[in-house]
Structure formats: structure tokens, C-alpha cells
Amino acid sequence: MARPVVGIIGNFHLINDEYPAFTGGRMNAEAVRDVSGGLPLIVPSDPALVDIEDLVETCDGFVFTGGRPNVHPKEYGEEATDAHGMFDPDRDNLTLPLIRRCVASGQPFLAICRGFQELNVAMGGTLYPEIRDLPGRMNHRMPPDGTIEEKFELRHDVTFTKGGEFARIMGATVVRTNTLHGQGIKEKGERIVIDGYAPDGTPEAIYVEGAPGFTLGVQWHPEYQAAKDPVSQKLFGAFGDAMRDWQSRGRAKHLKSA
């Protein structure tokens, strides 16, 4: 069987502040190749360039990556403020319907950081623009200085629901993770199960209740040194297993029934 093809959602980027491009972090591709056992494929984050039906027929799974721009608050019925930061409406217009399409068909996906937030919004949820401004919350943002290793260092525990989906995959109810995000879940979307929390009560692990496939989202960045980190190994490994199961049971059959 050929390796599963993994659509890694790219981000719009200006090279040298002038040349438009779509980029994807190398660590995402390495995690997909080395841990999930997949073939990484960077997807331009613009529905004017890629068709959702073409994507789901081409790929066996998707990674909804992190990114500096945030989901536009109009997607969950709120007005934009300075606290919401930058936006990428083209990515919103691709990822939100693609997530709903995958939830319906059972096509596997792993949603990371911004992707985690996209998953919640796609299912009707809302977001806080800045977690660190909430009473009792810690600063979850990336440290502004230091090396890559220091920025991605493990900074807090995540506690999973005993007997829940994440505890089953991890073989533990508490794991240690990095944290590099500003926004977070305010109201969870329909069928979204919050399965893990940071010590300050910030949701960190979710999935879609009753979905026929792998629909996991995490607020941290498991792609960093995924082949070495035991938590990342289990998460990307389970994602790879889900894609191979999707392949073996017939992609066309799944899509036809969705």
C-alpha cells in the first residue's frame, strides 16, 4: 500500500516582504513523514486555487497547522478588534468548510494551534482573542526571545479526561507540552468534546463527538521534534494509523457515502 497522502494546510507568506508564497513549516512535514508514515503535501490556503472536493479525493488526511493570523471573528459572529491580531480570510474560507467535510465523511485530520481554533469555529464555537488577559490564566504565548529550543520547551501539563480519547491514545491522563498561542476556546462548538485542559483551565485537547473518523485537535505544537517526543509520537502515530485505516477501507467508498 502506498504511503497515505497528507494535505498540510499552508500559510500565506510574503518572502522578503514582497513575493507572495504559500509556506509550511518543515517540522510539520517531518512529523508526517517520520511519525505518521505519510507523504506530506503542502496545500495552498486559498479556495480560489484549490477545490475541496479535489483535495478530499487526493489526500488521505489533513493537518490543519498553526499560523500567525487568527480566525476572523466574523466567522463566529463577533466584531474584529486590535486584540484579535492579524487575519487570513482566504485560509478561513478553505479550512472551515474542509473541516466540516472531513467530520461528515470520517476523513482523518489533526488540528494544531490555529487548526485547533479552526476546528472549534467550524463546529459553531467561539474564541477569546487573548487568553493571558483573562483572570487566572497564564501567558500561553511563545516566549519573545531565545532559541527555537527555548521557544518550544515544555512549559505546562495537560490533564486529559480519565477514560477519554486522548488518555487512550497517550496511555496517560497527564502529559507535558509546549505552549505558543494567544487565543483559545471561549464557547465550544456543537459536538466538540474538550478532553484536556491546562492547569489554568484553558482547553488544550478536543475532538468531535460522534464523528466517524479521527478528528483530534490540540492547542500545543506536537510537530516540534515529533520523532523524539513521546507525546508527539503517540499523537502523530495514531493519526497515521487512522489514515491507513481510511485507505484500507476505501477512500472512494467513504466519500461516496458522506
Short-list 204, 202, 151, 200, CA closest to 175: 204
Please determine, for residue 252, whether its predicted confidence score (pLDDT) is greater than 60: no
Query: What cell was used for 237?
Result: 502515530
pLDDT of the residue at 87: 87
What are the helix (H) ranges across 106-205? 114-122, 148-151, 165-170
**Residue 256 Cα distances to 50, 96, 107, angstroms:** 20, 21, 12
Catalytic entry in 118, 130, 165, 223: 223
Mean pLDDT of 246-255: 73
Rounded CA-CA distance 116/206 in Å is 8
Which is more confidently placed, 252 or 118?
118
Rounded CA-CA distance 54/151 in Å is 37
Instruction: Kindly report, residue by residue over 127-181, the tens digit of the pLDDT.
Output: 999 999 989 999 888 887 888 898 889 999 999 999 999 999 999 999 999 999 9
Rounded CA-CA distance 106/215 in Å is 8
Catalytic entry in 113, 165, 181, 204: 113
Please determine, for residue 1, whether its predicted confidence score (pLDDT) is greater than 80: no
Mean pLDDT of 231-248: 97
Q: What is the pTM of this model?
A: 0.94
Rounded CA-CA distance 157/173 in Å is 10
| 113 catalytically annotated | yes
CB atoms near residue 148 (< 10 Å): 10
Please determine, for residue 221, whether its predicted confidence score (pLDDT) is greater than 60: yes
pLDDT band at 256 (very low <50, low <70, confident <90, very high): low
Please determine, for residue 74, whether its predicted confidence score (pLDDT) is greater than 80: yes
pLDDT of the residue at 226: 97
Rounded CA-CA distance 50/95 in Å is 11
DSSP state of 229: -
Mean pLDDT of 60-86: 90
Short-list 255, 226, 123, 117, CA closest to 182: 117
pLDDT of the residue at 254: 57
pLDDT band at 258 (very low <50, low <70, confident <90, very high): low
Catalytic entry in 72, 140, 181, 221: 221
Mean pLDDT of 32-41: 98
Q: How many CA atoms lie within 13 A of 37 on its CB side?
A: 14
| 13 catalytically annotated | no
* E strand intervals along 91-181: 109-112, 127-128, 156-160, 174-177
Which is more confidently placed, 222 or 249?
222
Short-list 140, 155, 153, 142, CA closest to 185: 140
Query: What cell was used for 95?
Result: 479550512
Rounded CA-CA distance 47/158 in Å is 34
Please determine, for residue 235, whether its predicted confidence score (pLDDT) is greater than 70: yes
**Residues 246/107, Cβ–Cβ less than 8 Å:** yes
Please determine, for residue 250, whether its predicted confidence score (pLDDT) is greater than 90: no
Three-state secondary structure string covering 202-215:
CEEEEEECCCCCCE
Mean pLDDT of 53-79: 94
Domains along the chain? 5-257 (3.40.50.880)
| 221 catalytically annotated | yes
Rounded CA-CA distance 255/159 in Å is 35
pLDDT of the residue at 253: 60
> What CA dihedral angle connects 86, 109, 251 and 193, to 10 degrees?
-120
Which is more confidently placed, 81 or 202?
202
